[in-house]
Amino acid sequence: MLGLAMNSLRFQWSRFTATFINVFLGAVILTAFASLFDTAAGSGVSASDASSLNTIAAAVGGWGLLIVVFGLASTMRLSNSQRQGDLALLKAAGATPAQIGRLIVGEAIVVALIAALLAVGPAVLIGRGILSALQSTGQIAGSVDYTFGLIATAAGPSITMLAMIAAAVITVRRTRHLSAKDALSQPVADGSKITKTRVVVGVAILLVGISCAAVTATVLEGEGFLALSVAGQAGIACAIGLALLSPVFLRAVIGPLDFLTRRVSGASGYLAASNIRRRTDQTAAITMPVIIFTALATVSLYTLKVQNSANVADGLVLSADDEGVQTLTFIIVGMIAVFAAIVVINNCVATMLGRRAEFALARKIGATPAQLRGSTMLESVCAVVVGIVLGTVAAAVGIAGFAYSRTGSLAIEPGPLTYVLILVIIAVLTLAAGRISTARALAKPMLAEIT
């Protein structure tokens, strides 16, 4: 199966491009923050500086690992849903479920290893940039030298490998129990069922996020630095929980979408509603990173806004801790938001390009390219709207908990410009990626795709 995995990567490398890009970016983030442990252990570093560096590396690395695993799992799930026909042929030829699992995990290990090795150079540059940012705000002494040592060299690739294997195992759990007959029919009705396990896990993580917000509002009242951190965790946990539950919400909007779009866009609206109903998982692969991006950016920037407004109202000057939190927040938001944005683009492109044969068959029975472009645009709009709404709800939970902790009130200063900018960025990225990839998918002649 390892030889088969290598041949699969060799002859179908384009299928793994999106996964490789996501793994590479995740490896850069994880390795860059792992290097802070090496820096903390360097000679001449004071105890306070070492403690700060270790805390930042552990906190950001932990949440970064969770988000990276989540992003990789959604990408690999999408990739494997588009190769069910290949897996069905292997099963028909006698491959066992365990062998199929080893094939998928083997491919994941090879991709992760290559990505982790290539990520070392960019990780060194970003690690230096993080240290410089911390030194510029006075959190870390300027005399501390950046070190990229054994911990980053060993931990970065190993954590990346662990994240990729975890994502592969999540994918294998869904794939290995399919019969050859089910696998062949799966592309037609992908995502028609939402597993109870996914719902239970999603609800559990959502409750963890709500609990973090409640703790922020009550137990941590007046604890600015710690409350800000836990509020961010509340927003991220709620975002991940809602992302896992996103297929439920997508299926809930199919009826209204069908009712509205049929009257506005005719056949395109019918096709969009039908595709979301039958391919909920593929649409959710776009919605999930939208939720993460929206929630992370919104909760991070607006909790800082609440903090700064409260400081001004109290006549306080920003402390070193507050400045440090702001710097760290912008670093986290910038790096992980870029990762989430790339996942959105990759998943959107992979989804549309993987539907070439479907588009060809639709054209064969009379659908026009314009109708198919309209259909995919409506699907993308639906994915973005649901993702933005759920991401906003997740962010609101974290923001409300921190606002009550800091000010004793749930009132939040509007400041809509930042929020609108976040929405515009994610909407433009998703819709543009969907439009361009659909045009590429429709570029080939219909008969060439069918054959």
211: Cβ contacts below 8 Å, ≥ 6 apart: 234
What is the domain range of residue 286?
Answer: 191-451
Interval 333-376: pLDDT, tens: 677 777 777 777 777 777 777 777 778 888 888 878 888 888 88
| Predicted pLDDT at 398 | 87
Question: How far is residue 402's CA from residue 387's CA, in Å, rounded to a whole number?
Answer: 23
- Asked if 331 and 406 sit in the same domain, the reply is yes
Q: Are residues 179 and 269 in the same domain?
A: no
Query: Does 344 share its domain with 444?
Result: yes
pLDDT, tens digit, 9 for 90 and up, residues 236-274: 889 989 988 988 888 888 777 777 766 666 777 777 788
The tens digit of pLDDT for each residue in 45-71 reads 888 888 878 877 776 666 666 777 777
Where does a domain end: 153, 187, 221?
187
Express each pLDDT in 141-177 by its tens digit.
888 888 888 888 887 777 777 777 777 776 666 655 5
Residue 145 and residue 272 in one domain: no
Q: How many residues does the chain have?
A: 451
Per-residue model confidence as pLDDT tens digits over 78-88 = 666 666 666 66
Chain centroid to Cα 429, Å, comes to 14
Residues 14 and 117 in one domain: yes
Q: Does one domain contain both 286 and 335?
A: yes
264 and 334 fall within a common domain: yes
Residue 79 to residue 73: CA distance in whole angstroms? 10
pLDDT in tens, 195-214: 788 889 889 999 999 998 88
| Residue 39 pLDDT exceeds 80 | yes
CB 57 within 8 A of CB 36: yes
Lookup result for tokens 């609206």: 269
In this structure, the answer to whether residues 202 and 176 fall within a common structural domain is no
pLDDT of residue 59: 67
Same domain, 102 and 246: no
The pTM assigned to this predicted structure is 0.77
* Neighbouring C-beta atoms of residue 409, cutoff 10 Å: 9
Degrees to nearest 5, angle at CA 387 with 18 and 196: 85
- Does residue 122 have a pLDDT over 80? yes
CB 441 within 8 A of CB 355: yes
- The predicted pLDDT at position 11 comes to 63
CA 60 to each of CA 31, 57, 67, 163: distance values in angstroms, whole numbers, following the listed order: 11, 6, 10, 15
Q: Residue 189: what pLDDT?
A: 45
The pLDDT assigned to 206 comes to 92
Asked if residue 295 and residue 210 are part of one domain, the reply reads yes
- Domain identity same for 160 and 294: no
- Ramachandran category for residue 344: left, alpha or beta (phi over 0 → left; psi -120 to 50 → alpha): alpha
Single out the residue of 287, 280, 85 nearest to residue 194, CA to CA. Answer: 280
Pick from 53-57, 294-298, 390-394, 441-445 the range whose average pLDDT is largest. Answer: 390-394
Domain count, the chain: 2
pLDDT: is 179 or 114 the higher one?
A: 114
Name the range with the highest mean pLDDT among 218-232, 284-298, 349-363.
284-298
Q: Which of 205, 202, 232, 227 is nearest to 216 (CA)?
A: 227
Q: Are 382 and 442 within one domain?
A: yes
Domain stops at, among 171, 187, 203: 187
- Residue range 325-335, pLDDT digits in tens: 666 667 666 77
Last residue of a domain, one of 187, 211, 241: 187
Q: What is the mean pLDDT of the chain?
A: 77
Cα Rg for the chain, rounded, in angstroms?
23
